[in-house]
Structures are given as C-alpha cells and as structure tokens.
Amino acid sequence: MSDQSQVLYRKYRPQSFSQVFGQDHIVKVLKGSLELKKIGHAYLFSGPRGTGKTTMARLFAKELNCSETDIIEIDAASNRGIDDIRQLREGVHSLPFSSEYKMYIIDEVHMLTKEAFNALLKTLEEPPSHVIFVLATTELHKVLPTVISRCQSFVFKSPTQTILKEMIQGIVDKEGSTIDSGSLDLIALLGNGSFRDTQGVLQKLMSYSKDKHITREETEMVTGAPSVSLITDMLDAVSKKDSAEVLNVLHATEEQNIDPYIFIQMLVQSIRHILFIRFSPQQKAHLKQQLEEELFETYEVLASQKNTINSGLLTALLHSYQNMHVSFSKYFALELALIEFLQD
C-alpha cells in the first residue's frame, strides 16, 4: 500500500483502548488484566488482516508504560529463520532500557520456519520476568499447537459494515468533509472487513474530491464500482429469467470497465438484503432505516415476488467469484454461472 493510502490509517490509528472499534471482547480482558496486575508472558492475536492486531499490541504496551525503546517489533515474513530467533533469544535476557517490561511484537508469526518455531517455543516456556511476547497472525492454523498452548489467545473479529460506516463517518467529520449514505455503504463494502483497507479507499476519495463532499457518483468512478441502476437492472432481469437481458447488462458492465469482483460483491449484498426483507421482519425494519428509500422499495418489491432471487442464486454467484481467477475472461465465469442458473 502506498504512503498516500496509509495517511488516514496512521492519522486515525487508535491511541487508547477507548478508541478501538469492534474488538470490545479483547479490550475488556486486557483492561481487566491490567487492573488486576495479572499480566501474562505471551499473547497470541489472530484474525483477518487490517483488524487491528498490531495496533492492539502497541496499545497494550502503552498501557504497560513501555517506552518506544522497549517495544521491539519483528516482521516474521522477513525474519523467519532460526538465526533470527536465536538473536531474539539472546536479546530477551537484557533488561528494559526505561520500563518495567520489554515487549516483543512478532507480526505474521505463522511465517516462521519449523526450526524457528521450535527455538521460539523454548523461550516462550521460560521467558525472563521482564519480557512479554505478543504474536500476531492472519493464519492461526499454521501456528504450531505447542506455541498456541503457551499463549493467551485472542481472536480478532472482522468489523461489520455498520462499524466501518461509523468509523468512516467519524473520519469524514473530523476532516471537515461530508459524505452521502450511498458512498458510506459502498466504501464499507469495498473495505472487505478491514479497517486499513476501508481507510485506504476513503483516502483515495478524499484526495479526489475537490469540494470536500464525497458523492456516490465520485465513489463509483474512483473505485470502479457499478452504479445502483446496473445492479437493479441485473436483479430485475434475473427475477424475470430473462437471459438475453442478463447478458445485455453484463455487456454494459464490462464496457464500462466495472471491476467484476466488485460487481459480484454488490450483487451478492443486494440479494442478501432482498432475502433478509423476505424472511426477517427484524432485518427488514433495520434495512429500512439503513438504505435509501428508493432502493429499499425496489428490494421490497423483489422480495414480495415469487422469483429466482433465492439462496441458489447466491450459491451460483459465489462459485463464479471463486472461478474468476482461473478464467481467461473474468466476466465469462459470471456469464456462465448466471445462464446455467437460469436454465435450471
């Protein structure tokens, strides 16, 4: 990620536990251990990328009054061998410079070699009293069970779109800008459950917008996302089992250089909303508050009809999404999935 896209992420990185979004279950436990002065010697933070694992580790170090010189961050993707861990094992015995504790934050710990893991294991078993380890990983299944068993393990959740929209709105307000609801929905969707990626998308839009007002039209243009009308046209064609019109909409989408991955994401989200409205009164009430009135009414009409917008359509789209990376034409995979679904 470029420096430009990281500006917001750095600027609005939480500076205290109270500023952390969506990880209350972890904050509560860490704060409790600090209040009771029951500090573990090793912690394992796992979860999707961009959910705040290393940020949480730094906040924990801050709450422990660790100085910058006593926080050692190691990228295991670049320092993954046994020699790197041997250096770490030698370093842990030196006392902190100006703090009670010295914290080692090992990011992407699953990248360590088996030999390095075994060497680290010996240090985790009997670390010096002044050392705390925080291991972070996006792939918990690649971490040795013996390492996991010696750590207090915390699983970070991907933020919901509601949480991401709350974060986006807060940043926009602080930056003295405005944003419409359609842009909020789209940016949160394109963030793919990552705080960092969401802020990266927002950074692009704030750099592009000259009047400090982010509109849905600008968001679609900058991100390569389809317009709402293209999505609703596709939904209408599918609901009527109109294969010719389905292909026409896909052709128009491809001609506009719309990213097919984003097109499927938005189509899947729309279908989910329609099914929520059809089957869940509680979700229907929630969506009525969240969506623009005209879009909600469109979904409501489709939900009330007996048509092909169902769970089978979702399955077909998800399969086409998986098949795109092996297809010589991304749109071919989507065309094939929809035509086969409508012919069943």
Q: Please report the pLDDT score of residue 5 as a whole number.
A: 44
Domain residue spans of the chain: 23-155, 161-223, 228-343
Q: Please report the pLDDT score of residue 247 as a whole number.
A: 96
- How far separated are the first and last CA of the chain, in Å rounded? 43
CATH topology of domain 228-343: Zinc Finger, Delta Prime; domain 3 (1.20.272)
Q: Please report the pLDDT score of residue 186 as a whole number.
A: 93
Mean pLDDT per 10-residue segment, the chain (344 residues): 62 94 96 96 96 97 96 89 86 93 96 89 89 96 94 95 94 94 92 92 90 92 93 96 96 93 94 96 92 92 94 94 87 93 89
CB 105 within 8 A of CB 71: yes
Which superfamily does 23-155 belong to? P-loop containing nucleotide triphosphate hydrolases (3.40.50.300)
CATH code given to domain 161-223? 1.10.8.60
* Helix, coil or strand: residue 135: strand
Q: Please report the pLDDT score of residue 50 as a whole number.
A: 92
Q: Please report the pLDDT score of residue 2 as a whole number.
A: 45
Q: Please report the pLDDT score of residue 208 as a whole number.
A: 87
321: left (phi over 0), alpha (psi -120 to 50) or beta: alpha
Residue in 121, 128, 130, 112 with CA at minimum distance from that of residue 151: 121
